[in-house]
Structure 1
Amino acid sequence: MDGKTIARQCTLCEAHCGILVTVEGEQVTRIEGNPDDVLSKGYICPKATAMGGLHHDPDRLRTPVRRVGDSFEPIGWDEAFREIGQRLRAVRAAHGPSAIGMYMGNPAAHSSSVIYGVALRTALLTRNFFSASSIDQFPQEFVAWRMFGANVLMPVTDIDRTDRLVILGANPAVSNGSITTMPGAKLRIRDVRKRGGTVVVIDPRRTETARLADEHVAVRPGGDVYLLLGMLHVLVTEGLCDERAVRAQCAGWDELSGLVATTTPDRMAVHAGVDADTIRRLARDHAAAPSAVLYARIGVCLQTTGALTHWLVNTINAVTGNLDRVGGQMFATPPVDIARYGKYLPMGYGAWTDRSGTQKSFRGELPVSVLAQDILAEGPDRIRAMITYAGNPVLSTPQGGRLDEALESLDFYVAIDMYVTETTRHADIILPPVSPLEREDLNLVFPVFSVRNNVRFDAPVFEPPADGLEDWQILARLLTEVVPLPARRVTGRALTGVLEQLSPLRLTAAAIATGPYGILRKGRKGLTVNRIRSTAGGVDLGPLVPRLRELIGTKDRKVQLTPPDLLAALHAVLDEADTATSAGYDLQLIGRRHLRSNNSWLHNIPSMMKGRDRCTVLVHPDDAATRGLADGDPARVESSVGTIVVPVEVSDDIRPGVVAIPHGWGHREPGVGWQVAAAQPGVNVNLLHDPTRTDPLTGTAAVNNTWVRVSPVVTERDAADSDRIGVPAAG
């Protein structure tokens, strides 16, 4: 049988590497990197090859299903939407709009359907909106807002032209970049060194990225903020900054100088876990390099000092002249220039809070760490119905083991998902979108954070089934059901008819036409969707260029080096700085990620599950020896809120006093619909994290510095626990 090959992108992670998908009939036979892709240039990681397995997975839902007892049965689309509308409207009528909550997971950002996700959230008129951003990037967005005047102005690392790359709490050799989209990051890092540059990785673990670097600095978890303060002290007090240039671009130099006057490397070293001489050298080398950039990501983001660390990262880049500069931190010029309009978007910071009054709203949502409590706490304002769009918050967020109970207690729950997961198994109705290979798309989000300006089209590989719906179509139908309409039978059909014509691709086409490369600005040579569609490897729009002056949204049009709330939070941290352990817990737990695993998405694809167990606790040999642990032994890992049992992996890649466990595992709950995943070992590490322990400015859960203790499994009861998902702590 003759085959065909389609050029598109892998949409399983932020890199969106270009792929060539070969099919024969209705079967994917091969997936390989596209050498003509303007961003990934032929590179792919093993995850890309799973796109075929995802499409063909027999466990993937192909039709809506409705809960009947402890199982699900098929239901027609019209009947499903009718029941959903009736039940959601009933909840809203009885308890108000905020009785309906909505959660949007990371996969939503991987297609332009996110436009309709935002539209549905708006139509609900609820204060109880949550997303994966508050377990991912809120501190970076908050800092961008405070320093540059817009949350979307998160700077991109110009890795392809820098002379010095310093990476904190990120592992781009595995992730291929995040909020700095850089497919083929391994090759890009090697290219920095090939052209005579230097790469330094600051991380408690010798990561896959650290192995490619010139230097690895094993910082103590939570120590990054102190290390950066020590560096700033050196930069300021030794006159390594061009003060005149800094004052021209930034506000707050005098306050910053006063702040770091006492944060000497000798004082900061004990809290950073890095010696003072290394801190001094890192600062001096950064200032001396022709161009240099600090790049930080999720490892430092998900800590109580997440916002502070990202603030100091941006500040060091700014005062050394590496902000909005080739080879430093820059801002992309995407085909739909979202960043240009970000300063006009209200953040609504603190406009409302969670039900406890503790966590503030930010950009129209609450941190997901409060979701379980806001469902379970009795009272007139509790969440009584939920909509989830993608994501698996039962596994991916710390809820003290209570989110299962919370979701089960809801009056009604509808999920948009391709699987019956640990989360969606609690749903009353699940609405499955078609496979990614059955839709065409043009992503708007990731070009905003790419290391080179570009735009690429996702061509469909297969025709969608006649009775299948794309994500946006499902969201649009839900929107028509929740919008208050008079004479709903008539006006509802009319609204549905209008929305059916407004696909995200049509909306994107209009936005591109008015964008920086569009036909309304460039004339006949301007960019159009048809031109992008006809270019199999995408359109290269050139290198990043300095443009902060046109984007910045602060009142004085300057970068704010010392935002008051960040200053106050930093003083609190300095006053409380302490390296002591807590209540008998003597090890610090951090997360880690594997090349073949992306959260919980790929655990049902057999090709991704080959090899040894990857859900292990990584322990330094010295720590293993003092606890009587050997490689492969089951170990009990306990925190103040929970206990799990996992196999030990002994390695000197981890700093002494630190252990690491990946998240996204634990698929053995009853009713889970992915059979391959359910047969895998692994436990839910988020059972160990206290949901009340957060970054105080954004409410982002601090899951990368939890105090734990690790001990051998020594009793029959302990051995039995090794087959369990994990248990919350007593009380």
Structure 2
Amino acid sequence: ATPTAWTITSQTIPGLEDGAPNFGRYQTRVRGAKEVLGQVPVSCMLEEITTPGEGQIKALITVAGNPVLSTPGGDKLDEALPNLDAMISVDLWLNETTRHADVILPGPSGLEQPHSADLLLGAAINSFARYSPPVFLREDPDAPEEWEILIRLTGLCTGTPAEDVDIAALDDGWFDYMCFTQGLDGAETRKKYGHGGPERMLDLTLRTAAFGDRYGENPDGLTLEKLKAHPDGINYGPMVPRVPEVLGTADKKIRLAPQYLLDDLPRLASRLERADDELVLVSRRHLRSNNSWLHNVGALMKGRDRCTLLIHSRDAAMRGIADGDN
């Protein structure tokens, strides 16, 4: 569908503007895994923490994450995390990962924050927008918001003492960059607001997307104020064909087989030909635990035991395992 708000993740990555991404601009220190779209496999994290040498990971920040449960070799990561020089977690729970943190910074819960599902709009079957206000007021109105915590951590990573990080300046700087991507002057656009933070950014992305008012150019267009007046959301209709519009390739064609994938096919083929008696254990998502985020909430964990192992009947039979065995 045509999104009612754009996200920064939908913008062209600097250095890849030509539409033909050159993957592998750098490689990981230990394994030499190639970068793809600015990221490397999370399976590399353990070895980057435990392998000495220049560039060794000495500090870690997690945000509502539990890599001890969700990454390959999590048991080994569990052993490695205490050896970090510093670990900070932004989380509401003491879990398998955050128990190793030197500092846990609890932000507001999901029910104490406003919400807009802008990250999902590009994959929706209708072009819709919805804003949900907080369900509960926070007990301490002076407690920092989650976005303020994250900005302070960003400044901390630059070497600035946490107490000296200028949250408003960094927030304004990021807003100005978002304005720049839309052909707007950030300083002038900021004059239209009496506040900063996520709602200012949401208003910008709504106003400059397909159905927005473009700050008055389209008087009937969408704004955050208009969206708030429709608590059930606004639906602009079903998805329409738009592949040529969103393609970043110069020839407007989809690249199904980029060269970097073709070059790696022999490794995949050898992996597929591994011995039949080799099994791979993978984690599974459950609605109630939501990737382990909610497995600390007792009310959601009631009922049947979901800590189960699923195995194909053929693989089970080869190993003498029958349904119901202990």
The TM-score by the shorter chain falls in which range? Answer: 0.7 to 0.9
Correspondence for 2:255 among 555, 560, 565: 560
- 1:539 CA displacement: 1.0
Structure 1 unaligned segments of length 5 or more: list them: 1-331, 635-731
Give the Cα separation in 1 of the matches to 2:270 and 2:77. Answer: 35
Q: Which amino acid aligns with 2:148?
A: Q
Give the equivalent residue in structure 2 for 1:618: 310
In structure 1, what is the Cα distance between the partners aligned to 2:97 and 2:162? 33
Change (3 A) 1:574 1:359: closer
Task: Report what 1:110 is aligned to.
Answer: none
In structure 1, the residue corresponding to 2:153 is in which secondary structure?
Answer: helix
1:336 paired to 2:31 = no
- Structure 2 Cα separation of the partners of residues 434 and 595 of structure 1: 22
Which residue of structure 2 aligns with residue 531 of structure 1? 226
Aligned positions of 1:554-593 closer than 5 A = 554-570=249-265, 573=268, 578=273, 580-581=275-276, 585=277, 587=279, 589=281, 591-593=283-285
- Distance in 2 separating the partners of 1:587 and 1:481: 43
Inter-partner Cα distance in structure 1 for 2:56 and 2:152 = 26
Structure 1 residue aligned with 2:67: 393
After superposition, give the CA deviation of every residue in 1:603-625 in whole Å (9 maximum; x if it has no partner). Answer: 22223222222222234556556
| Whole-angstrom CA distance in 1 between matches of 2:61 and 2:152 | 13
TM-superposed CA distance for 1:547, in Å, is: 1.2
In structure 2, relative to structure 1, the CA distance for the partners of 1:348 and 1:479 (3 Å cut) is farther
**Structure 1 residue identity aligned to 2:119:** V
Q: How has the CA–CA distance of structure 1 residues 395 and 455 changed in structure 2, closer, same or farther, with 3 Å as cutoff?
A: same
One-letter amino acid of the counterpart of residue 407, structure 1: L
Q: Is residue 496 of structure 1 aligned with residue 167 of structure 2?
A: yes
| Equivalent residue for 1:433, pick from 96, 104, 107 | 107
Aligned-pair distance for 1:462?
Answer: 1.2
Secondary structure class of the residue paired with 1:540: strand
**Matches of 2:162 and 2:91, distance apart in 1:** 27
Kindly provide the amino acid, as one letter, of the partner of residue 334 in structure 1: P
AA in 2 matched with 1:359: A
Aligned partner of 2:237 in structure 1 is 542
1:470 corresponds to which of 113, 127, 145: 145
Among residues 286, 289, 298, which one is paired with 1:597 in the alignment? 289
Q: Equivalents in 2 of 1:438, 1:414: separation in Å?
A: 22
Q: 1:368 aligns to what?
A: 42
Letter in structure 2 aligned against 1:568: D
CA distance in 2, matches of 1:508, 1:413: 31
Deviation at 1:555, TM superposition (A): 2.3
Match of 1:410 in 2: 84
- Alpha-carbon distance between aligned partners in 1 of 2:231 and 2:272, rounded to the nearest angstrom: 53
Tell me the alpha carbon deviations over residues 548-579 of structure 1, each in whole angstroms, 9 at most, x when there is no partner: 22221112222234422333333654577537
Distance 2:62 2:145 in 1: 16
**Residues 395 and 422 in structure 1, CA contact (< 8 A), matched pair in contact too:** yes
* Pick aligned residue for 1:480 from 144, 155, 161: 155
What is the RMSD computed on CA atoms of the aligned residues?
3.0
Q: Distance in 2 between matches of 1:460 and 1:439?
A: 5
User: Partner of 2:61: helix, strand, or coil?
Assistant: strand
- Residues in 2 aligned to 1:562 and 1:623: alpha-carbon distance in whole angstroms: 33
Pair member with larger Rg: 1
Contact 1:339/1:448, CA 8 A, preserved across alignment: no
Q: Which residue of 1 aligns with 2:208?
A: 514
2: CA distance, partners of 1:358 / 1:622: 37
Structure 2 residue runs without a partner (length 5+)? 173-194
- Deviations 1:269-298 (CA, angstroms, capped at 9, x unpaired): xxxxxxxxxxxxxxxxxxxxxxxxxxxxxx
Which residue in 2 is equivalent to 1:607?
299
In structure 2, C-alpha distance between the alignment counterparts of 1:588 and 1:340, rounded to whole Å: 32
Q: Which residue of 2 aligns with 1:184?
A: none
Aligned equivalents of 1:580, 1:444: Cα separation in 2: 44
Q: Aligned partners of 2:65, 2:270: CA distance in 1, in Å?
A: 38
What secondary structure is seen at the aligned counterpart in 2 of 1:542?
Answer: strand
> Which TM-score applies when normalising by structure 2?
0.79
Closer, same or farther: CA 572–381 of 1 in aligned 2, 3 Å:
closer
**Offset at 1:405?**
2.2
The residue identity in structure 2 corresponding to 1:430 is I
The percent of aligned pairs where both chains have the same amino acid is: 39
CA shift in 2, pair 1:357/1:522, >3 Å: same
TM-score by length of 1: 0.37
1:505 aligns with 2:199: yes
1:448 positional shift: 1.8
**Aligned mates of 2:147, 2:3 — CA distance in 1:** 22
Segment of structure 1 superposing worse, 451-460 or 435-444: 435-444
What is the aligned length? 296
2:125 alignment counterpart: 451
Match of 2:184 in 1: none
Match of 2:290, SS?
A: coil
Distance 1:348 1:618 in 2: 39
SS of the equivalent of 1:524 reads coil
Separation of aligned partners in 2, 1:615 and 1:364:
34
**CA offsets, 1:653-687, max 9 Å, x none?**
xxxxxxxxxxxxxxxxxxxxxxxxxxxxxxxxxxx
The CA distance in 2 between the partners of 1:457 and 1:601, in whole Å, is 23
Cα gap change, 1:556 to 1:442, in 2 (>3 Å):
same
Alpha-carbon distance between aligned partners in 2 of 1:630 and 1:340, rounded to the nearest angstrom: 47
Aligned-partner Cα distance in 2 for 1:360–1:615: 35
